[in-house]
């Protein structure tokens, strides 16, 4: 496997990065590669080589610490509007699977949406050779097909340290002759860009019936819910639930990108739902956690640099059990703003940020992390069962509320 790496210093846009000795075998490739520059809003520049589309773009620069799972991450709608920096040093070595391969629900089997969602990609070393039984193309070819720029030969861990030190930062990937301005994607309604346009029903005629607000819903969430045999009705984020005739037994609020306050239509529907005399159970994930909190009267805030990776430890505040969770968010719920009747469900063991909320008496709860994983651990997949137990009005079989520290909840398929 051949790869390319460069020195750790950030080079100005006019100075070519210096090849390391291990790059000698592919130096001919870089001789013909386009040059591009990552420019941060503070003026810092990082020069690299292109392996995606030669297209100038801007976005919020964020980092992900996962070692694997780039096909899932790059197709995750929660990354909409972002320039993704991958801290793992070697990327692309196992290629990209076939997006035309569908699962039983006619969804792309190996991806979290039908397209590449990121605005741009930054990696340290890009593998020009890939090998995997399931791969049909290279990462670079996939990005070019979707017109997404990508640079390699940049010290991504240096960028990560800078983001961790300075906080969330805007930036742009720029190519010669393609000047572009830096813009903040969080000032636009990113949810409106990634939501579905029409109502879709899975397992029509089944019971119970779940309505899911698609704010950028990952495909693996659809799989988890639909595989439980429920009738799953996926609706756009701005679906007018109070004035609809839709029959349902429970409500799900999905993940999604950007500032949660932009999803005002979803917040209005959830606020109406939680104030009903006999409310239906509600479960939210990621952005869904923030939307449920806002509907309840709490507030959210922009985190310093967010949590994006596969190994974030989260503590269940009822049992003190800790779970390892995959995450992808830059906003969080302010636990101190939760109104009467609401409690913190999970807390991040690293930064103490809110990782979930739950109502003391009513069937409402949500989590900030991703129990459906893809990629990452599935330690908290039992939360889907917990939701459906509430929907079915059945006593919990095994939940985080009434088990000992030594009994591990399980997810039944």
Query: Quick one: tokens of 236?
Result: 């756009």
CB count, 10 Å around CB of 318? 16
Q: Label residue 166 exposed, middle or buried (CB < 10 Å: 0-12, 13-18, 19+).
A: middle
In whole angstroms, what is the distance from residue 114 CA to residue 75 CA? 7
Strands, DSSP E only, in 130-219? 135-137, 150-152, 169-175, 200-202, 209-214
Cβ 263 vs Cβ 214: under 8 Å: no
- Catalytic hit among 215, 286, 314, 374: 286
Specify the DSSP element, H or E, that contains 283.
Answer: strand 282-285
Beta bridge partners of 340: none
Token match 């269940």: residue? 316
Specify the DSSP element, H or E, that contains 164.
Answer: helix 156-166
Cβ 325 vs Cβ 316: under 8 Å: no
Best CA proximity match to 47, nearest among 179, 161, 152, 160: 152
Beta bridge partners of 333: 300
Determine whether 374 is an active site residue: no
Helical ranges in 211-283 per DSSP H: 219-226, 264-274
Q: At what angle do helices 264-274 and 287-296 cross, to 10 degrees?
A: 60
Query: Quick one: tokens of 197?
Result: 């346009």
Token match 């509007």: residue? 81
In whole angstroms, what is the distance from residue 142 CA to residue 146 CA? 7
What are the residue numbers of the active site? Answer: 286
């Amino acid at each position: 496997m051949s790869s390319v790496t460069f020195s750790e210093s950030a080079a100005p846009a006019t100075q070519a990065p210096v090849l390391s000795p291990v790059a000698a075998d592919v130096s001919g490739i870089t001789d013909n590669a386009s040059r591009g520059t990552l420019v941060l809003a503070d003026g810092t520049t990082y020069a690299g080589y292109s392996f995606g589309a030669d297209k100038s773009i801007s976005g919020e620069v964020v980092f992900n610490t996962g070692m694997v799972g780039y096909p899932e991450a790059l197709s995750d709608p929660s990354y909409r509007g972002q320039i993704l920096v991958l801290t793992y040093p070697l990327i692309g070595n196992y290629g990209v699977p076939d997006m035309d391969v569908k699962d039983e629900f006619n969804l792309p089997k190996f991806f979290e949406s039908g397209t590449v969602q990121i605005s741009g990609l930054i990696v340290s070393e890009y593998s020009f050779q890939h090998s995997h039984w399931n791969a049909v193309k290279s990462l670079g070819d996939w990005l070019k097909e979707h017109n997404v720029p990508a640079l390699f030969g940049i010290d991504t861990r240096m960028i990560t340290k800078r983001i961790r030190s300075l906080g969330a930062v805007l930036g742009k990937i720029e190519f010669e002759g393609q000047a572009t301005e830096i813009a903040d994607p969080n000032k636009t309604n990113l949810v409106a860009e990634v939501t579905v346009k029409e109502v879709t029903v899975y397992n029509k005629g089944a019971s119970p019936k779940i309505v899911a607000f698609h704010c950028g819903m990952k495909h693996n969430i659809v799989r988890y819910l639909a595989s439980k045999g429920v009738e799953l009705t996926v609706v756009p984020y701005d679906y007018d639930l109070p004035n609809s005739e839709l029959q349902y037994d429970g409500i799900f609020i999905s993940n999604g990108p950007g500032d949660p306050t932009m999803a005002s239509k979803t917040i209005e529907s959830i606020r109406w739902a939680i104030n009903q005399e006999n409310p239906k159970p509600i479960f939210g994930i990621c952005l869904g956690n923030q939307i449920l909190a806002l509907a309840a009267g709490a507030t959210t805030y922009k985190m310093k640099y967010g949590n994006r990776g596969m190994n974030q430890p989260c503590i269940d505040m009822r049992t003190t059990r800790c779970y390892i969770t995959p995450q992808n968010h830059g906003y969080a719920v302010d636990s101190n703003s939760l109104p009467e009747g609401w409690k913190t469900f999970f807390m991040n063991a690293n930064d103490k940020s809110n990782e979930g909320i739950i109502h003391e008496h009513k069937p409402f709860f949500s989590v900030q992390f991703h129990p459906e994983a893809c990629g990452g651990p599935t330690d908290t997949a039992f939360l889907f069962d917990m939701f459906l137990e509430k929907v079915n009005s059945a006593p919990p079989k095994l939940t985080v509320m009434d088990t000992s520290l030594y009994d591990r909840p399980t997810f039944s398929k």
